[in-house]
Amino acid sequence: MTNVLTPSLTISGSVEVVRERILPMIGSVSVVEGQDVFPDTVIAESARPGELHIVRVSDALSLNPEDAMPCVTVEEGTKVSKGDVLAETSSMWGLLRSAVSSPVDGIVEFVTPATGHLGIREPSTRVEVPAYIQGKVRSIYEQRGALIATQAVFVQGIFGVGGEKTGIIHMLDVLPNDAVGLEHLPPDCRGKILIGGRNPSLEVLQKAKQEGAVGFVTASIDDLTLSNFVGYDIGIALTGDEDLSMSLIITEGFGAIGLNPTIQCLLGFCDGKLASINGATQVRAGAVRPEIVVSHGVLDQSLVSKLVEQSANITDAGLQVGSIVRIIRVPYFGKQATVVDLPTDLVRLETEAMARVVTVRLHDSNTEVVIPRVNVELVL
Amino acid sequence: MSPSPENAATVLVTDCGSTTTKALLFERTDEGWRQTYRGEAPTTVEEPVADVTVGVSNAFREIQEISGRQLLDDSGALIISAENPAIGVDLYLSTSSAGGGLQMLVVGVVGTISTESAQRAALGAGAIVMDAVSADDGREDYQRVERIRHVKPDIVLLTGGIDGGSASHVVEMAEILVAADPKARFGDTLRLPVIYAGNANAAQEVGEILGRVAEVIVVQNVRPTLDAENITPAREAIHELFLSHVMSHSPGYGKLLGMSPVPVMPTPAAVGAVVNAYANESEKSVLCADIGGATTDIFSVFPDAQGKKIGNRSVSANLGMSYSMANVLVEAGISNIMRWLPFSIAEEDLRDRLRNKMIRPTSIPQTKQDLVVEQTVCREALRLALAHHKSLAIGVDDGGSTKGIANIFRQSSSRFELVDMMQLDVVVGSGGVLSHAPNRMQAALMMLDGFALEGITELAVDSIFMLPHLGVFSTVNLEGAHEIFTRDCLIPLGVAVAPIFSERLPRGTEIAEVLWNDSYSGVLRVGEVSMVGFAGGEVRDGRLEVIPSHASVDIGAGRGKRVVKNVRLGACGLILDGRNRPMIEDSFTIDAQRHILQSLGLYSGEMDR
């Protein structure tokens, strides 16, 4: 039979998380292989080239490029300060002088005779790449960065906004199926990653952000609330660059869906511990999903042993009778169910389309319904 | 020993889309080439699989199950040219748009000359043009630099200047590229490929300047003179770089490239090849929409001012039915989507549904109501994509002999939109939402509404979304591809008749009479949509005559003039659309939409649940 490729997000108490931490340009690496690192450990650093400013000398002197070149007083590699003369011309026995000065401090990068232009590069700025997760340096990329690995509790969300953040997990005192209200926020949000419930209102999210929370992880959200939180309607699922002091991760989807009990339980074990999160999402092209990483290094050893044992017993054998699934489309959107049959023949849906289906028993009503296979995802 | 590609008798072809990988089996039978079996599986470029060949193998396996023909060996590898002709295939081919397709940045000097030619070269090669930067685009240098940095293209195409002309402007654009120091989308150690296709005299200087930050490939100028366009060398360079740089950095593509002796073709380039061949052979003006999960491609072939057929392609990179569904919501606006619905739904619910499709792109509608929601989004995606296409499909009436500087001024004044909806003969729909619509009339109505068809237009769909497969197959067997296209691919739906008339005519007024093979078939009335079906609904050719009942009515031959046209009907018969263009406001109420669906046999009470 055709392999059933049912999408699922990783939710695990013990999985190896490996992250490449790479500079955007050549630089120097500050760690060594085997070194223990923390989220804020600098892995590599470099100097980012400054902005390049094009100075149109020929235009400024009202000359043709070939006439302007003899007037240029600097050459490639010359260090200049803002206001320094780059080119000058005189006429009427020196009585009329025109000059072009540098708009910035920098170095002359190029002089182009064909255009009569100069390029001035501003001084470079320092760029650092932090470890982001707590772990160990597995290998080094010469002059670029390193590979960091850790055994961790790892939860992928379905959608998020905001970039990498590190904070202390705070489980909200709210039931997984209840909406998060202002009353559920802790008195001190500073540096915390708030986790729990579903559908926080805009007021809740803004309050958490204002109070200094660095992350908010919840089951679901209304599209309008998300748009208002970010400040605009997100058209393309390519996020992570938003200028947000608090990253937001949604684990289940849009609408009103409760938090997956496995996530509630796993992250509940990590309450009060250091975690790294990233809201970056890219649904297309090599899919990036938002993530929550809690290194085993910050957990009690007894808990780690338990998590490792539990994870070893979970196998992803694909969709089969007995699998627990979440339905991801109306009319049963968000409901959890158990697979009771996987018919091989195509079945005609209400839409009149023919599709491969799965028969499931809904957990909330104990009734059996038939669902297109592509409309379920495994709950591991 | 395996036969040469052109002599292969069983050919397995995949199209690796951003959402689904579709595999088709083409076989040479006693009655000629036929498409025989089909299988599909989710595309697997995403984690945790991150290997496109896994989805390809799953699609193969589905064909194997359905056909009973052994395609895979015990290790799961495709069997090519086995001694036993009953197993395996002779040839494997593929197209691909997975991984977001080929993304390009176009840089030129004059927006309506070199940049426009460069865009056509990039689009014709199957690329998505992320932005077109020109010296005259009104942006400041820093804005251009920021934009170039932001788009992260796979390839840059730099053009500008005629051969022997001034080098300074194109060199200046090269300087801006250096200032931006753009990075390639894949592989952070990869030097960004820049194809230079501008003034040959500036090639050396451009190479020296850009060589610091990019890998420069010099090809012939796309505009060697003002009145000549030469885009083939740039297009070929793009294809080569697509394979060597872009595909090889996508998950699993190294393996995919090794599975076929024929280069993997960008999906849009494959579809474009088929559309152009069809328009040339049928001598019709053609519009083809391929609406995918992430992007919508529009292809058109219309005559220019001299009557020469010009093929154009546009890609609306972020209009689509899954990954890009939320972007259709953002670009069209929620009210434009809701106006097509025949039932009431809370705006919040609708927004959440579209977002959920975006984040779980492989899910499908299970209820009729949900299907209608997707099909309304399709209408808006088509509307937006056509507007984009019209803005790019531009003809230049150069007066034939005008040369030199005078032509520059003529070009800005004599540019015209090639796409004339009133003169469109055939519209072809492709892509899952159109090809797999459970009812063919749904596909016809999506195109009629989304494109706001005018005059008399034949409608057809790609039966099971095989245009990409036929495009790549045509590169090794043109005749075989043509046979499959006419027998198995193009499904005639019917003919839409949509006049334009005076706004003053009251609703319900008769505006035209319709005759089929000289027999009265029906009338068009203001504000109404109806269908004239024919027994059996089979494909039939005949003579359609539309006689205006009012002097203001234009059906394509001018106001008040009757039109006679030989057309082909299919399952949907004749669709008579009296909604005027642009469509009148009172067409956009729940009752009006429900009435239209009822008239066309598409309404069901289940939609209100």
Q: Do B99 and A223 touch (CB under 8 A)?
A: no
d(CA B459, CA A33): 64
Residue A6 above 60 pLDDT?
Answer: no
Average pLDDT, chain B: 88
pLDDT band per the 50, 70, 90 thresholds, residue B406 = very low
| Shortest CA distance from A118: residue in chain B | B175
pLDDT, tens digit, 9 for 90 and up, residues B209-255:
898 888 899 999 999 988 778 888 898 888 778 766 666 667 788 88
pLDDT, tens digit, 9 for 90 and up, residues A199-235:
999 999 999 999 999 999 999 999 999 999 999 998 8
Between A3, A51, A377, which is nearest B61 by CB? A3
Question: Which positions 112-171 of A are in contact with B (Cβ < 8 Å)?
Answer: 112, 114-117, 119, 144, 158-159
d(CA B16, CA B94): 7
Residue bearing tokens 């045509």:
B474
Enumerate the residues of chain A whose CB falls inside 8 A of the CB of residue B438: 351-353
Enumerate the residues of chain B whose CB falls inside 8 A of the CB of residue A223: 348, 351-352, 354-355
CB contact B55 to A (< 8 Å):
yes
d(CA A82, CA A106): 8
Average pLDDT over residues A113-134: 89
CB contact B361 to A (< 8 Å):
yes
* Nearest by Cα to A98 from A51, A130, A59: A59
Between B54, B65, B364, which is nearest A355 by CB? B364
Q: Is the backbone peptide bond immediately before B268 cis, with ω within 30 degrees of 0? A: no
pLDDT band per the 50, 70, 90 thresholds, residue B424 = very high
Helix (H) or strand (E) holding A101: strand A96-101
Residue B409 above 50 pLDDT?
Answer: no
Lowest mean pLDDT among A85-89, B395-399, B489-493: B395-399
pLDDT, tens digit, 9 for 90 and up, residues B152-206:
788 999 999 999 888 888 998 998 888 887 777 665 556 789 999 999 999 999 9
Strand ranges for A284-378 from DSSP E: 291-295, 324-327, 336-341, 347-348, 354-355, 357-362, 368-372, 376-378
Helix (H) or strand (E) holding A185: none
Q: Do A255 and B361 touch (CB under 8 A)?
A: no
Helix (H) or strand (E) holding A287: none
Residue B64 is classified by DSSP as: H
* Å between A286 CA and nearest CA of chain B: 5
- Residues 6+ positions from B565 with CB-CB distance below 8 Å: B456, B543, B544
Between A49, A115, A283, which is nearest B168 by CB? A115
Judge whether B505 and B550 are in contact, CB under 8 Å. yes
Q: For position B100, what pLDDT does the model report?
A: 62
Q: Do B366 and A330 touch (CB under 8 A)?
A: yes
d(CA A243, CA A252): 23
Helix (H) or strand (E) holding B491: strand B490-498
Count CA atoms closer than 13 A to B110's CA, side-chain side. Answer: 14
Question: Which positions 242-261 of A are in contact with B (Cβ < 8 Å)?
Answer: 253-255
Identify any residues that bridge with A167 across adjacent strands, giving them in sequence order. Answer: A275
Residue A247 above 80 pLDDT?
Answer: yes
CB contact B335 to A (< 8 Å):
no
Between A114, A237, A371, which is nearest B366 by CB? A371
A to B CB pairs, distance under 8 Å: 190
Tokens of B542: 């005949």
Residue B96 is classified by DSSP as: E
Residue A363 above 90 pLDDT?
Answer: yes
Enumerate the residues of chain A whose CB falls inside 8 A of the CB of residue B177: none
Residue A1 above 70 pLDDT?
Answer: no
pLDDT band per the 50, 70, 90 thresholds, residue A40 = very high
Question: DSSP string of B219-239?
Answer: ---S-SBTTB---HHHHHHHH
d(CA A199, CA A194): 13
Distances (CA, A) of B588 to B579, B591, B599, B603: 10, 8, 15, 16
3-state secondary structure of A199: coil
Exposed, middle or buried by CB within 10 Å (0-12, 13-18, 19+), for B225? middle
pLDDT, tens digit, 9 for 90 and up, residues B41-98:
888 876 667 788 999 999 999 999 989 999 999 998 999 977 788 899 999 999 987 7
d(CA A378, CA A134): 29
What pTM does this model have? Answer: 0.83
Q: For position B128, what pLDDT does the model report?
A: 76
> Does ipTM exceed 0.85?
no
Q: Do A233 and B61 touch (CB under 8 A)?
A: no
d(CA B513, CA B519): 11
Distances (CA, A) of B423 to A137, A152, B285, B540: 66, 63, 7, 22
Q: For position B227, what pLDDT does the model report?
A: 76
Residue B412 above 80 pLDDT?
Answer: no
Tokens of B371: 């299907």
CB contact B591 to A (< 8 Å):
no
- Residues 6+ positions from B409 with CB-CB distance below 8 Å: none
Q: For position B411, what pLDDT does the model report?
A: 47
d(CA B445, CA B587): 14
Question: Which positions 241-260 of B are in contact with A (Cβ < 8 Å)?
Answer: 250-251
% of chain B with per-residue pLDDT over 90: 56
pLDDT, tens digit, 9 for 90 and up, residues A312-322:
776 666 788 99
Enumerate the residues of chain A whose CB falls inside 8 A of the CB of residue B167: 114
Q: Do A237 and B188 touch (CB under 8 A)?
A: no
Enumerate the residues of chain A whose CB falls inside 8 A of the CB of residue B141: 54
Tokens of B357: 């499709």
Distances (CA, A) of B516 to B121, B423, B458, B535: 43, 20, 14, 14
Average pLDDT over residues A291-316: 88
d(CA B158, CA B178): 12
pLDDT, tens digit, 9 for 90 and up, residues B192-212:
899 999 999 999 999 998 988
d(CA B356, CA B366): 14
| Shortest CA distance from A369: residue in chain B | B366
Enumerate the residues of chain B whose CB falls inside 8 A of the CB of residue A3: 41, 58, 61
Tokens of B379: 């209408």
Average pLDDT, chain A: 90
Average pLDDT over residues A148-170: 96
Between B48, B62, B327, which is nearest A236 by CB? B327
Enumerate the residues of chain B whose CB falls inside 8 A of the CB of residue A285: 18, 45, 98-100, 250
CB contact A349 to B (< 8 Å):
yes
CB contact B18 to A (< 8 Å):
yes
Average pLDDT over residues B500-510: 94
Residue B400 above 60 pLDDT?
Answer: no
pLDDT band per the 50, 70, 90 thresholds, residue B304 = confident
% of chain A with per-residue pLDDT over 90: 64
Q: How far apart are the first and last CA of chain B?
A: 60
Average pLDDT over residues A341-355: 92
Enumerate the residues of chain B whose CB falls inside 8 A of the CB of residue A331: 366-367, 370, 609
Enumerate the residues of chain B whose CB falls inside 8 A of the CB of residue A240: none
Torsion sign (Cα): B417, B422, B425, B431 = positive
Mutating which of B18, B53, B356 best tests the A interface, going by the most A Cβ atoms within 10 A? B356
d(CA B129, CA B122): 7
Which phi and psi (to 5°) does residue B255 adopt?
A: -65, -40
pLDDT band per the 50, 70, 90 thresholds, residue B454 = very high
Q: Do A374 and B58 touch (CB under 8 A)?
A: no
Distances (CA, A) of A291 to A48, A259, B578: 28, 15, 53
Between A224, A330, A353, which is nearest B438 by CB? A353
d(CA B117, CA B110): 10
